[in-house]
Structure 1
Amino acid sequence: MEPLAKRLAEAFGVSGFEDEIRAAIRDEIAGLADSVEVDVLGNLVALRKGTGGGRRVMVAAHMDQIGVIVTHIDAQGFMRFAAVGGVYPTACWGAQVRFKDGTVGTIGLDGRVDRRGQLPELRDMYIDVGATSRDEVQQQVGDVAQFWPSFSAQGHAWFSPNMDDRAGCIALVQLLKELQGVEIAHDLYAVFTTQEEVGVRGARTSAYAVDPEIAIALDVTLTGDIPYPRPVMDVALGRGVAIKVQDSGMISHVGLNRALVATAEAEGIPYQLEVLAGGTTDAFAMQTTRAGVPASCLSFPSRHVHTPSQIVDRRDVEAAVRLLVGFLRQDIAL
């Protein structure tokens, strides 16, 4: 999966500007689905029809990633910016960013801030592309940038600023690849959603259109395997896919989780149970669409979420794919 991971991680896709990552995914899944469509919000919806007698199953991973958006450019060419999604100011100073046209810049901290004793805010920062005047800057107000550099692998670990949620996209593409030639009864809607980082917007509209009977999100979660974790979590890198029990937006369907756990245990797939104190995923939007949908989330433990260097373990991604293949090959009774 590493070549796939590298390709998807290096594609541009800040929330609301997912064209490049969507095109890359569409190319990767060509021939793997019976239909592939793009809806009004930019969600990529791939339908793999089942043999009949099964359920409508929606599996979603969001294409978008956090980033920054230009709000002002001064006479010297320094760009002030705001956050797109949940950007931590403490993770920004000195980080490199890349605009869609390939321009790179460094996030600087202006001289009004006491660098030794004061926590900076985004308003204290600027993007420096090495210009000496406004005329040398190709960007304009409203342009977005993603954190950079992108993907690298080391042992089982994948490093990238956008493992949230390119890890989910990688898993969902790989799922379609591994189901090629495999008969399943269920209609599988593999949906690559937009604008999750700014309010699970793509999942909300696409789930309304698909009207699934079962919904599963693929996304990252926090870990408890770092020094002095806060909150304390019984989730760690490399111990398997995390089956979400609850987060701040949703409580997973008990029957669906029971079926996922049973599949994992029957097939010897490593798994963990996850309770996340803060944050939510596309599962929240899918669960609450129309009259309600049995929903859960398969999570990838990730260190340093929403920073320029997030880490996931390849083995946890592989475990999620194996679990989904096993789950979809059986009759689903909740």
Structure 2
Amino acid sequence: MQLLETLCRVAAPSGNEAPLTKFLLDYIQRYQSSWRTLPTLLQGEEFQDCIILVFGKPRTAVFAHIDSIGFTVRYGRQLVRIGGPDVETGYQLVGQDTEGPILCRLVVDENTGALSHDFHREIERGTELTFQCDFRETETTVQSCYLDNRLGVWNALRLCETLEDGIIVFSCWEEHGGGSVAYLAKYIYETYGVRQALISDITWVTEGVQPGLGVAISMRDSLIPRRSYVERIRRIAQEAGIPHQLEVESSGGSDAKELQHGAQPWDWCFVGAPEDNVHSPNEIVDKRDIASMLVLYQVLLKRL
């Protein structure tokens, strides 16, 4: 969990993913020699802050978004949401502008719902603020801000250790409307002919998806994937005896929306551990679900 904690402590809200991109590039450079297969690394201005890793002869791509929710400083003490963060007066926020580091509290107006901060000076407009990381680990759980989607990134990095054939994609902007997956998917499809995907992201604990019962295979959210592809994934999970749950939701989305709305014939399925306290500083995930998520991805990349 040390790697997961490190990932959670890197501030990278949508639009300013560069700090986490740098961390990932350094991590890949340091550890790729110990991976089973040495990947081809694709990154640079043509991919903005995204990273693509190509292993062997790929058939499937795994998408993990590296951005998080947060807040942008507006005028005076005003804050604007990045994505859909949970808001509650007293949440600790951190950031940095040209005058130095920032530690302040989120303030929610009881009457209007307007958001502001209580820092002792005016913060430069456009500065991003994120939840202060308080990483807590027990024998059975991990709890922190930004498990969505640092846990999906952790899963992808661990998958790299044993992956022989496949593509790992670290994407941007997912929490605030997307924008990177469309060109990444086009490049992957045209270059490698790959058109099936897994979404390495974190979903919600609900009345039908409970912590500790295994990774969630989503049959639908606000979008509906192709049923035949989801059924293949279900059969593989069942045959491998990997604990899993089926998710059916009417709302929510992921990197999959750009795959489904794109011009290429991508199949996709969201496969991720469920978390409680969504989009708050106190997101919590059961370690059994983390374990089943990684194992299922390892099996799926071999058999899909």
Give the distance between the partners of 1:21 and 1:326, measured in 2 at CA. Answer: 27
Q: How far did 1:155 drift? A: 2.2
Once the two structures are TM-superposed, the CA of residue 141 in structure 1 deviates from its matched residue by 0.4
| Distance apart, 1:177 and its partner CA | 1.6
CA RMSD between the two structures = 1.9
Deviation (angstroms), 1:97:
0.7
Question: Offset at 1:40?
Answer: 3.6
CA distance in 2 between partners of 1:251 and 1:293 (Å): 13
Q: Output the TM-score relative to the length of structure 1.
A: 0.81
- Give the aligned partner of residue 178 of structure 2: 200
- Aligned 8 A contact 2:8 2:133 in 1: no
Residue 168 of structure 1 and its aligned partner are, at CA, apart by 0.6
Instruction: Identify the residue that residue 160 of structure 2 maps to in structure 1.
Output: 176
Compute the displacement of 1:143 (Å).
0.6
Structure 1 or 2, whichever has the larger Rg, is: 1
After TM superposition, give the deviation of residue 103 of structure 1 in Å: 2.0
- Other-structure match for 1:128: 118
Instruction: Report the 3-state secondary structure (helix = DSSP H, G, I; strand = E; otherwise coil) of the residue aligned with 1:140.
Output: coil
Whether contact under 8 Å (1:156, 1:313) holds in the other structure is: yes
Are the aligned partners of 1:241 and 1:301 in contact in 2 as well (CA < 8 Å)? yes
Residue of structure 2 equivalent to 1:151? 135
Whether the 8 Å contact between 1:158 and 1:311 is mirrored in structure 2 is yes
Q: Give, in whole Å, the separation in 2 of the partners of 1:109 and 1:319.
A: 38
1:260–1:323 CA contact under 8 A, matched in 2: no
Query: Secondary structure of the equivalent of 2:158?
Result: helix
Deviation at 1:286, TM superposition (A): 1.7
Paired residues for 1:126-275 under 5 Å: 126-129=116-119, 131=120, 133-134=121-122, 139-179=123-163, 184=164, 186=165, 188-211=166-189, 212-224=194-206, 233-248=207-222, 250-275=223-248
Q: What does residue 291 of structure 1 align with?
A: 264
DSSP-derived class of the 1:13 partner: coil
* 1:87 lines up with 2:67 in the alignment: no
Aligned mates of 2:144, 2:254 — CA distance in 1: 19
User: Is this contact kept in 1: 2:273–2:289, CA < 8 A?
Assistant: yes
Q: For 1:296-322, what per-residue CA distance to the aligned partner results, in whole angstroms no more than 9, with x for missing partners?
A: 110221101112211112221221211
Instruction: Quickly say closer, same or farther: Cα 1:235–1:148, change in 2 above 3 A.
Output: same
The alpha-carbon deviation at position 82 of structure 1 amounts to 0.6
Shift of 1:154: 1.8
Distance in 1 separating the partners of 2:280 and 2:90: 12
> How many residues were matched structurally?
289
Shift in Å, 1:49: 2.1
Match of 1:35 among 32, 41, 45: 41
Mapped partners of 1:156, 1:195: distance in 2: 31
AA partner of residue 209 (structure 1): Y
Once residues 96 and 219 of structure 2 are traced to their aligned partners in structure 1, the CA distance between those partners, rounded to angstroms, is 37
Query: How far apart in 2 are the matches of 1:264 and 1:63?
Result: 26
Q: Which sections of structure 1, spanning at least 5 residues, go unmatched?
A: 74-78, 225-232
Gaps of 5+ in 2: none
Q: Secondary structure at the match of 2:167?
A: strand
Amino acid at match of 1:47: V
For residues 151-209 of structure 1, what are the alpha-carbon distances to aligned partners after superposition, in whole Å with 9 as ceiling and x for unaligned? Answer: 22122211112111111101111100233xxxx4x4x2211110001112222221122
